[in-house]
Amino acid sequence: MHNNVDSLFEQLWSNYLEVTPSAVKVHELLGSTQQDDVINDHIALRTFNHEKIGLEKLAAHFKAVGYKECGEYHFEAKKLYAKHYEHSDPSKPKVFISELLLEKCSEELQAIVAKMIDGIDESAVTAENFLYSGTHWQVSHETYKKLLEESEYAAWMSAWGYRANHFTVSINYLANFETIEAVNQALKDAGFPLNTSGGEVKGSPEVLLEQSSTLADHHPVEFSDGKFEIPSCFYEFALRYNKPDGELYTGFVAASADKIFESTNAR
Ligand code: OOG
Ligand code: NI
């Protein structure tokens, strides 16, 4: 495991860029007109609720660099469970980790995923690079498509594995954008397709969080039966509002998160 939070995020970021070239352009678009670097509100990772690699196994890597568990979220229809983590230094990105509840899925999906998990070396899970180690298995494109019929999340995991599936620009810290609508307009003008599931803007000032996201880049994957371009990772944008106590809200909103997951759907 890492013992330094910044080096962990540097590695997660460069691994994310390998399959998300649009992220560099998003940074240029939103950050080039300001002096300071773009601040990331949070990142997200995905896994399965199997004891070998459940969300706590991923969380351990963040706890080792000073993160604490803060909230939990349920997604009935997508069969997902998630927790979020915060660092004692509020300038460090928050972390959102979800897991697919395998026992709620079909026997067929469970069998495919069990085989994938079999491919993971026990020691790989605590290794320094686990959170950006990608897949520890290789599925066929046929299997990917089969998973896609039941769970887009499971299909995404089968192709991409362990990596940040998105970084999130904090709109609060952008010098030249005040509203999420202005950010969305700049993205659309520059040709980035947005995730419109549930509307371009998810959430509201009332729930203290507004979010939007691009649709994932498409990137080639080497499947066992050939190379195919499929959705990889995306960029999210978040604007947080003050709680009655005057502090920024730091949690997530399940109804909005439910739609953000769909940013890895095919365009
Ligand atoms: C996470 C989706 C939820 C948010 O900010 O609400 C999320 C995912 O796609 O893995 O990131
Ligand atoms: Ni997010």
Nearest protein Cα to ligand 1, atom 1: 261
Cα gap 80→258, rounded to integer Å:
9
Nearest protein Cα to ligand 1, atom 7: 257
pLDDT tens track for 34-64: 777 899 999 999 999 999 999 999 999 999 9
- Ligand 1 site residues, Cβ closer than 6 angstroms: 44, 46, 96, 98, 165, 211, 236, 252, 256-257, 260-261
pLDDT tens track for 118-136: 999 999 999 999 999 999 9
Integer CA distances (angstroms), 256 to 170, 197, 206, in order: 16, 10, 13
Q: Parallel, antiparallel, or unpaired for β 202-204 and 234-240?
A: unpaired
**List of the chain residues with pLDDT < 70:** none
Ligand in closest contact with the CA of 152: 1
Give percent helix, percent strand, percent coil of the chain, each to the nearest 5. 40, 25, 35
Q: What is the pTM of this model?
A: 0.98
**DSSP one-letter code for 143:** H
Look at residues 96, 65, 79 and name the one whose alpha carbon lies nearest to residue 152: 79
